Structure 1
Amino acid sequence: MTFFILYIHSTKKQLFMKNIYKLVTGLLMTTVFFVSCNQSKEIKGESSEILTKTEKDPAGYSYEYVTNDPTGLRLYTLDNGLKVYLSKNNDEPKIQTYIAVRAGSTYDPKETTGLAHYLEHMLFKGTHEIGTLDWEKEKEYLKQISDLYEQHKNATNPEEKLAIYRKIDSVSLEASNYSVANEYDKMTQSMGALGTNAHTSTEETVYHNKIPANELNKWLALESDRFSELVLRLFHTELEAVFEEFNRGQDNDYSKMYHAALAGLFPTHPYGTQTTIGEGEHLKNPSMVAIHEYFNKYYVPNNMAMVLVGDIDYDKTIKAVDATFGKLKKKEVTHPTLPKEEPITSPIVKEVYGPTAENVEIAFRTGGVGSKDEKFVTLCDMIMANGNAGLIDLNLNQKQAVQRASCYPNFMNEYGYHAFTATPKANQTLEEAKDLLLEQIEKLKKGEFEDWMIEAVVNDLKLSQTRRYENSTALAGAYYDAFIHHESWADKVKFLDDLKKISKEELVAFANEFYKDNYVVIYKRQGEDKNIVKVENPKISQVKLNRDKQSVYMTKFMEQEPPALQPQYVDFDKAIKKTTLDNGLEVSYINNELNDLFELYFIFDMGDDANKDLSTAINYLEYVGTDKYSPEALKKEFYKLGVSYYVGTDNDQTYLALTGLKENLPKGLTLLEELWSNAVANQETYDKYVDKIAKGRQDNVSQKSFILWNGLMSYGKYGENSSLRNIYTVSELKEKDPEVLVDLVKDLKDYKQRIFYYGKDVDAAVNALNKEHTLPETLKDYPVAKTYTEQETGGNVYFVDYDMVQTEMLFLAKSAPFDPKNMAASTLFNAYFGSGLSSIVFQEIRESKALAYSAFASYSNAAEKDKANYVYAYIGTQTNKMPQAVDAMMDLMKNMPDAEQQFNAAKDAALKKIAAQRITKTGIFWTYERLTKRGIDYDNREEMYNTIKNMTLDDLHTFFDDNIKKENYNVMVIGNKKEVDMKALSKLGDVKELDVDYLFNYEKPKDLKNSDL
């Protein structure tokens, strides 16, 4: 369960999330170009007329559909008002389900903020039948707990409040005798569901499951019962989980910026005056009565939608939905009338502090979904930044005028905003970065973009939409998005066509009227955040889980056996076809049966371990042109074609890829080969590139996730001698000749290589390759790659000091070398023990002891046949709970609890997930690639399925004893040294505090200054 701090309109979400991914992970040098569409030719399927019509199915259910809708939506409205969105996708026998409620933090009462989000958590706790062993006895305790919370809320004396809380804790312990933790999750797991979760945002709460298609009726029955009533059991332990989530938000500088932006944009509207997670003081004083009132008001069918996209039969599905959710009672729903904002007449300045890299955001308030602003801002946004040829792309990112920059729109029901973001480069102030963003907006207002751009960006959006609608999860998300925002699907279908009707003159006129000094600017500065809320450890009594018991409801539920799905396995020899180029190079290919898009990959089985210069050289390609095209002109040419290229390298592989519309593959390949063969180095751009790497490294070590999961994880495995640390210093990079690096990229063609093509008309692709991809007669072998020795683990604690509220810990143990025979047992072990809401680890550490928001463990199989497997466990917890959380986790890693029923549910889940899994499209090729690295040349899921089918709990214990229990752990810790109990850490091993620059083998910022960078 989580809350969304950002809501991005679907037309820009993919681009924005990739930019955020680069910001968060620090993968600053990766070259990524986003797919665009043909400038001169429309995407097939563009409608000439888009109308909403109504028909009846054979059973008499009326539904709406939209003419020329590529998604095939049927929208039903049940008699009780429930909206039901149905669409077919037969790629796999699964159904993406969402249950959406128009109930978000915007509608929280002012005195109980965070209520909608906390209610979301409680919907997983069951009903008077689900999750209870004796409802008549349990409900009396729950009534006492509710009354005590009202007393606690109204008490003003701290000692009195503490005494009442102790009573709540005591009564809750008694109540737990009659509850069963995570029964809902156990039942969804037993069906083979994936992604069981929920999220809350400003105007929505949405519940997620992806289920095997044959489990639909069971799922509908379970969900209709779940949404029929609210039972607030295990309340105070879940409240602690929400506090941990609150702490995670305090450790997230991007979350702080988001809230600061909303506060500036919406000073009187709930968008800006209250957060989804809620105020700390409100979380400390919850009201179970208020939560029930909120549920009764908003969780009614005429304020809800069900979305089902996947392998469905329309007629049977709507009958099944009506037979279950049709029983819910309709009530009148009135959402509150919310304040209207006064215009912003001058810039509003906000400042946010934290340890991560500095950046700046400028946000303009817009109208909401369905407004004129939505269309014009969406178009302006793509003119400004589309990942390729936008004003920000070319003038700031391509020219390396800032470290990175982008923009994104966000539209909600009543308002929205258009945000522009920039991270400054070295020795550049936030104010200077802000001014550069404003300069690009001025260029938009002056119409300084080419006439073809509007049509190109609309076609770009159409292509991105085509790809999204292939995916059942993405399409289902678009449906619930329309419901939450009261949009007709016809308006969604024709939205991009409406954009194309906007002329350049109209767009420029809008920009001049809209983008003035009416913005909020948020400066994220590095420094101490003095607004951190300290949360006490309430020392909760460990409640009973009763994992060896189950309710009568669950017993009956588990007895239901739907028709079984049969697994389907891939014959790679048949699925991956082969052909040969005139020069003898083999091309693997898979036909695209869905649309006219293609993907083409040139794969070299060597990476940085074979040539330390490769990543530097290949990523520099983004900033160079040719003797024919400047870097900016080249980007425009690709964008006009609707074709994108990207390059990448890792330790053992390098690749160049081309994607887009198949009819433009020849021209796109000509452009790629032009760049590949005729790239021209430039010393000035290279110097900026090295500066960018240097600044990127500084930004990396400001990100706690990057420090933990990249730096500390690698150090725990390899120590000092690792590929992560085997890098050039910035001083060494500065001394390199960029022409030599460019020549290295050109010389890649001289090495052995492989080609993979996914698309239609392979003959046309082969003809284009024969014409453009010329090679020498004899290709060179790869150089010998450097190897790194995995160290033995145990007895070491590696600590990094970081200004944060929580402490995050990673326990890592080297296990046996990779063995395919362990894959089945490890899959079952992870499902039973370490991952998911109903796993042993989650139950013990979060549900029972309330020691962490996030806790999991895993047996991780190596990606290569000669490498070691690893056992790891993670805890993210309040610093004052750390010793207890460590003890709890280490006890579990040495003593796996027995829970026969839970084991059987995990086993059923593992089997059903394999049975429902379909490997299709490009996934066939990439799955084969991953398997061959492990020394497997066939689909081994059949072996795994049969092995899991015959496993017992004793077998799992044997696996645990052989591979988990005996292991010795290195412990990696990131936290605030002033708060962490270092003595407690020393009990786990020898504590070694690591400097982050040393961890990654980076130069110190002072050393960079000395080298004039």
Structure 2
Amino acid sequence: MRLRLFLGMALMGLALSSCSKYDYEEVKGDLTQTRIYTLKNGLKVYLSVNKEEPRIQTYIAVRTGSKNDPAETTGLAHYLEHLMFKGTSQFGTTDAAKEAPLLDEIEQRYEKYRKMTDPEERRQAYHEIDSVSQLAAKYNIPNEYDKLMATIGSEGSNAYTSEDVTCYVENIPSNEIDNWAKIQADRFMNMTIRGFHTELEAVYEEYNIYLTDDTDKLFSAMQKALYPTHPYGTQTTIGTQEHLKNPSITNIKNYFKKWYVPNNVAICMAGDFDPDEVIATIDKYFGQWQPGEDVKQPEFPVQQQLTHHVDTTVVGQEAETLWMGYAFDKASSLQIDTLQVVERMLSNGTAGLIDLDINQKMLMLGAGTGVQSGMDYTTLILAGTPMEGQSLEEVRTLLLAEIEKLKKGEFSDDLLPSVVNNMKLQYYNALESNQARANMYVQSFIHGTEWKQEVESLERVEGMTKAQIVAFANEHFKDNYVAVFKKQGVDPNQKKIEKPAITPIPTNRDYVSQFVKDIQAAKVTPIAPRFVDFKKDLTFGQTEKNLPYIYVNNNENGRFQMSFYYPFGSEADVRYGYAGDYLDYLGTDSLTAQEVKQQFYKLACNYNIQEGDRSITVSLNGLSENMTEALALLEHLMKNAKVDNEAYAQFVAMEAKSRMDNKLDQRTNFNFLTRYAQYGAYNPSRHDMSIAELQQTNPQELLDLLKNLSTFEHTLLYYGPMSEKELAEAVTSAHQTPETLKTAPEGHHYVLQATPESTVTLAPYDAKNIYMMMYHNENRGWKAEEAPVTALFNEYFGGGMNTIVFQELREARGLAYSASAYYVEPSYEEMPEYFYTYIITQNDKMMDCVNQFHAILNEMPQSESAFNIAKESLTKKLASQRTTKFGLINAWLVAQRRGIDYDINQRIYEALPNLTMADVLRFANEQVANKAYNYIILGDEAELDMASLEKLGSIKRLTTEEIFGY
């Protein structure tokens, strides 16, 4: 995962401080005021206080990933990540002592199974594993970890694995630190492997998703060619198909024992807390964790630098593209400072060499750069997608030409200081995010980068010169790259994993371990909720020219965000979106297109023109010190943009190629299919200008739309450090409006279709899995008074991992990697509510999923204990959430669209204490049980059980051309 977060403004180096019995390290001048503790057992703890909301972002990072997988069982680190959610000897089981011998037997059976080769012998052995698993499952309490997290009001429970790290993620209320630490310490010290074969099926499904992910193929091929004798190149995080079929619990245990030890782990936290209290709590629970004897990272042969470029090819259904990769030092090297600057100079989305010379001139469909930082090596990736008729070799030539310009110093003298200026803006943004802060600590720890080095990175960057950049480019960019040509076609290596015979395990949702009961009974100081009061939290006013505005003051830093909000969108006129996109390639009567981009980037400000269904927003954000100048530049561009007919022709050609590419992407196909099924032929995806209409349009008409946009009624939305008076003066001076604004044009609304009878809507896509949604709509209007029970139903039934849907579809049966269901409340007052289920699964599991969804929809499983956890979870989330900054303005817009003038979350919170299981059951019986559904399926009909689908309802087959409208 790419990280673009920098810290700066450091004055001096690392210092030792202590105001309690725990010593910590800090870096003077560090605006995050990070404290770094090291416990006696070697556990690192990074703490940063941010009081904006009473929540804490937590990451527990283990310095091991797929790089450390045994060669004979690749995918192990990732699979262990999944198993870490299965509980310990204290939770996730009703009787650990009785369960243990059965789990041991399962482990031994898997060791024998993985060595078998005879298909019939393997089938019989797996049947026996399944049988023993049924016995062990009697003691299993699936999802108890998720119940624990729900109990304490955690959000975003998740984890991820990459080459170098396995990281566990939670966002908790600030009053639940003790409970969180108690749970996590037990989890990391006493992990128990249970529910193994059903979780293995979930990993199979994740693997199947990767089979159609061409980006994953590109990355794997790139790494293999750059690092041929290093695990970065020799094995993947997901693992091989053969190894997934033949897992080893014994190897997983050995891996856990070696790497999951305190001297190889960091706890990273940012949010509202007292650091002295937090470190004492962490020591209380984690201090007894015994360190490992050997956590030294494995050493591998040094990768020889390429002396000539290497070409390789991958094949997949998605559009053709090219990746080029250069290898660099490890992420902790100071070389990475320069590399990150160089990467932005090549492409920053606005004024880099690639942005101006390729994207601005539309020489290909799109191009950009990315940096993949690693503990051992770092990769710079350049990517480009061709235009129609353009070869991948031509794409490579264009990208190499930009590298040559960098090497020759053929770039503006303003580019380097502009990059630094924008890095400062990114720094401001990072300071506002607990997640960004904590993520910095993860990267620092995993890569072995001293925090002082991280803090001082911006200071070092500020001292760089053009000559240094040119020298760096000439030293490192030679004929030493790997080019991966992604061709469009059928991948001959794509083989699905067959569905094994699995008996569903019991969900045991009424069982609760004593550990969970203790957490539920723990007394914590309640967090007082703080909901939005629009009259107090927002300031409403008008400029001298009677332009209404909504104002929120930023007294934290020097960034601003503003928008001109117009209450009409694509339902009224789809051309505004194209006008905004076309504007991106134009100059004015006094500025070239490149100069416009360069000036915005130099000011560290960005603009965006976005057309939604019922709104148009013209937005500007960046450094407040430059807002007035940036606003004047934006107004100048919109009023004086100059038609470029050649650019328009190329713009339309790009749109045509983009549409062709969309038809090759699985997820995009499903998105278009669902909108067709939900809205009919007139829907937000298909309502568009045809390529012929675009070709016949005079581009001046598009520019006139933008030039005259400010003549329509609109509202100024602002969050920033300017006073109201300063804002009004700046906007009045730059933003010209007539004395009387025109009424917004009426639009033809998209209408959600009802489902009076069950039907099947099917569209083709050749893949080893299907995307499926069950959609129900009886045109039921939204009632604010029912919002509480709707929210609680979603929390209990299908909105997360601690829900009926996840337990039944994934945990008990292993039918999918992810599964969900949601009762959707409308965005606008007159729109209806609707309900849907969603799943990605193997083709041969389709009817298993349908039948199981029906089983839990028609007779929703009831568990008073699970209901209480869902209710407690929702209560704590609402109490600890805070709406701030521009989010206050967005909350007002949402409320207005729904016809209310208050924060609906307050109504939900206040109603929750009186809601019962009977209320949720009534809601389920009335709204989702025994209803007609439209079964929306994207898949290969030849591999689907069509006879069973025909029994569900009449089948409507749509072609790819029909769902896209072209």
Normalised TM-score (structure 2): 0.98
**Conserved 8 A contact 1:10-1:478:** no
Whole-angstrom CA distance in 2 between matches of 1:578 and 1:552: 53
**Conserved 8 A contact 2:137-2:506:** yes
User: Are residue 985 (structure 1) and residue 949 (structure 2) matched?
Assistant: yes
Look up the SS of the partner of 2:497 in the other structure: coil
Whole-angstrom CA distance in 2 between matches of 1:274 and 1:232: 24
Question: What is the CA-CA distance between 1:556 and the residue it aligns to?
Answer: 2.0
Question: What is the CA-CA distance between 1:86 and the residue it aligns to?
Answer: 0.6
86, 109, 131: which one pairs with 1:125? Answer: 86
687, 694, 697: which one pairs with 1:736? Answer: 697
Q: Which residue of 2 aligns with 1:834?
A: 798
842, 855, 873: which one pairs with 1:878? Answer: 842
Q: Which residue of 1 aligns with 2:32?
A: 71
Whole-angstrom CA distance in 2 between matches of 1:1001 and 1:533: 32
User: Are residue 649 (structure 1) and residue 643 (structure 2) matched?
Assistant: no
600, 613, 616: which one pairs with 1:638? Answer: 600
**Conserved 8 A contact 2:564-2:618:** yes
Look up the SS of the partner of 2:753 in the other structure: coil
Question: What is the CA-CA distance between 1:537 and the residue it aligns to?
Answer: 1.0
Whole-angstrom CA distance in 2 between matches of 1:523 and 1:397: 20
Mapping 1:599-614, distance limit 5 Å:
599-614=561-576
Question: What is the CA-CA distance between 1:126 and the residue it aligns to?
Answer: 0.8
99, 123, 142: which one pairs with 1:181? Answer: 142
Q: Which residue of 2 aligns with 1:798?
A: 761
Whole-angstrom CA distance in 1 between matches of 2:96 and 2:433: 42
User: Are residue 817 (structure 1) and residue 784 (structure 2) matched?
Assistant: no
Gaps of 5+ in 2: none
Mapping 1:772-787, distance limit 5 Å:
772-787=734-749
Summarize the Cα distance change of 1:570–1:11 in structure 2 as closer, same or farther, 3 Å threshold. Answer: closer
Question: What is the CA-CA distance between 1:46 and the residue it aligns to?
Answer: 5.8
834, 848, 859: which one pairs with 1:895? Answer: 859
Whole-angstrom CA distance in 1 between matches of 2:659 and 2:180: 47
Mapping 1:126-205, distance limit 5 Å:
126-205=87-166
**Conserved 8 A contact 1:795-1:970:** yes
572, 577, 589: which one pairs with 2:551? Answer: 589
Look up the SS of the partner of 1:635 in the other structure: helix
Question: What is the CA-CA distance between 1:488 and the residue it aligns to?
Answer: 1.1
922, 926, 929: which one pairs with 1:962? Answer: 926
Whole-angstrom CA distance in 1 between matches of 2:289 and 2:646: 67
Q: What are the superposed Cα offsets for residues 74-96 of structure 1, whole Å, 9 maximum, x if unpaired?
A: 00000110000111111110010
Q: Which residue of 2 aligns with 1:808?
A: 771
**Conserved 8 A contact 1:192-1:908:** yes
Question: What is the CA-CA distance between 1:304 and the residue it aligns to?
Answer: 0.3
Q: Which residue of 1 aligns with 2:908?
A: 944
Which letter does structure 1 place at the counterpart of 2:130? D
Question: What is the CA-CA distance between 1:966 and the residue it aligns to?
Answer: 4.0
905, 928, 933: which one pairs with 2:897? Answer: 933
Which letter does structure 2 place at the counterpart of 1:89? N
Whole-angstrom CA distance in 2 between matches of 1:999 and 1:116: 40
Which letter does structure 1 place at the counterpart of 2:939? G
**Conserved 8 A contact 1:665-1:765:** no
Which letter does structure 2 place at the counterpart of 1:767? E
Mapping 1:237-636, distance limit 5 Å:
237-332=198-293, 333-636=295-598
Look up the SS of the partner of 2:774 in the other structure: strand
**Conserved 8 A contact 1:99-1:206:** yes
**Conserved 8 A contact 1:227-1:299:** yes
**Conserved 8 A contact 2:309-2:480:** yes
Which letter does structure 2 place at the counterpart of 1:804? A
Look up the SS of the partner of 1:113 in the other structure: coil
Q: What are the superposed Cα offsets for residues 562-621 of structure 1, whole Å, 9 maximum, x if unpaired?
A: 111121112111111123212111221100021011112111111111123222222211
Mapping 1:666-815, distance limit 5 Å:
666-709=628-671, 711-762=672-723, 763-793=725-755, 794-815=757-778
**Conserved 8 A contact 1:81-1:302:** yes
Gaps of 5+ in 1: 1-6, 13-44, 1003-1013
Question: What is the CA-CA distance between 1:721 and the residue it aligns to?
Answer: 2.4
**Conserved 8 A contact 1:643-1:668:** yes
**Conserved 8 A contact 2:8-2:456:** no
Look up the SS of the partner of 1:227 in the other structure: helix
Look up the SS of the partner of 1:821 in the other structure: helix
Whole-angstrom CA distance in 1 between matches of 2:682 and 2:600: 41
Task: Say which is worse superposed, 267-276 or 759-768, in terms of deviation.
Answer: 759-768
**Conserved 8 A contact 1:832-1:840:** yes
Look up the SS of the partner of 1:965 in the other structure: coil
**Conserved 8 A contact 1:610-1:782:** no
Q: Which residue of 2 aligns with 1:10?
A: 4
Identity %: 39
Look up the SS of the partner of 2:474 in the other structure: helix
When the two chains are superposed, the root-mean-square deviation of aligned CA atoms in Å is 1.3
Question: What is the CA-CA distance between 1:979 and the residue it aligns to?
Answer: 1.9
**Conserved 8 A contact 1:818-1:864:** no
**Conserved 8 A contact 1:662-1:760:** yes
Whole-angstrom CA distance in 1 between matches of 2:251 and 2:582: 57
Summarize the Cα distance change of 1:620–1:903 in structure 2 as closer, same or farther, 3 Å threshold. Answer: same
Q: What are the superposed Cα offsets for residues 632-684 of structure 1, whole Å, 9 maximum, x if unpaired?
A: 11111111222221111111111111111212111111111111211111111
User: Are residue 999 (structure 1) and residue 963 (structure 2) matched?
Assistant: yes
Which letter does structure 2 place at the counterpart of 1:795? S
Instruction: Report the count of equivalent residues.
Output: 962
Q: What are the superposed Cα offsets for residues 963-987 of structure 1, whole Å, 9 maximum, x if unpaired?
A: 1114311111111233222222222
**Conserved 8 A contact 1:819-1:865:** no
Task: Say which is worse superposed, 380-389 or 607-616, in terms of deviation.
Answer: 607-616
Whole-angstrom CA distance in 1 between matches of 2:926 and 2:555: 46
Look up the SS of the partner of 1:590 in the other structure: strand
Whole-angstrom CA distance in 2 between matches of 1:46 and 1:56: 23
Mapping 1:843-882, distance limit 5 Å:
843-882=807-846
Task: Say which is worse superposed, 737-746 or 450-459, in terms of deviation.
Answer: 450-459
Look up the SS of the partner of 1:554 in the other structure: helix
Question: What is the CA-CA distance between 1:267 and the residue it aligns to?
Answer: 0.7
Summarize the Cα distance change of 1:334–1:589 in structure 2 as closer, same or farther, 3 Å threshold. Answer: same
Question: What is the CA-CA distance between 1:465 and the residue it aligns to?
Answer: 1.9
User: Are residue 87 (structure 1) and residue 51 (structure 2) matched?
Assistant: no
Whole-angstrom CA distance in 2 between matches of 1:640 and 1:138: 64
Q: What are the superposed Cα offsets for residues 845-883 of structure 1, whole Å, 9 maximum, x if unpaired?
A: 111111111111010111111001110001111112112
Whole-angstrom CA distance in 1 between matches of 2:684 and 2:351: 34
Q: What are the superposed Cα offsets for residues 76-135 of structure 1, whole Å, 9 maximum, x if unpaired?
A: 000110000111111110010111000100000100111111111111111111111111
